[in-house]
Amino acid sequence: MTEQRIAGLTKEEFNAKNSEHGGRLEIFSASTSKGTEIDVIVRPMTRAEYEKFQADLRKAGQRSESTLVPLGNALRGCLIAPSADEFAAQTESLPAIVELFAAELIALAGADAEVKKKSFR
């Protein structure tokens, strides 16, 4: 029987890398309607990485450029597996998947938090 791999890693390899990163790794999987599946393993962004990502988005907006480059850069910066080259090859014909994975990465940075107003009244 073949050992299960996700983003090219076995469970043992994932656990080792997860320990190296303080148990904070996440696995994201995207499946297309045509059956293509792409898995990635990422670590959360640091504050500095998130601030750079926001600055890159603002610069892209000022130049009326696509946000795909800053999104891709943020994702590649946090990518643990597969390698950046493998991921680029996998997403060459499916570039929108980069945006979908980046949205999940940004959620890890707290963008999915629900903020409520509180009061002592």
- Give the number of other CB atoms < 10 A from CB of residue 67: 13
Lookup: tokens for 15: 């656990």
Q: Are 43 and 51 in contact (CB under 8 A)?
A: no
Distance of CA 20 to the CA centre of its chain: 18
Residue 10 pLDDT > 80 = yes
Contacts for 86 with CB less than 8 Å, ≥ 6 apart: 8
The 10s digit of each residue's pLDDT in 20-35 is 999 999 999 999 999 9
Catalogue all structural domains in the chain, each as residue range(s) with its CATH number: 11-109 (3.30.2220.10)
Model confidence pLDDT, tens digit, residues 51-76: 999 999 999 888 877 788 899 999 99
Mean pLDDT of 69-88: 94
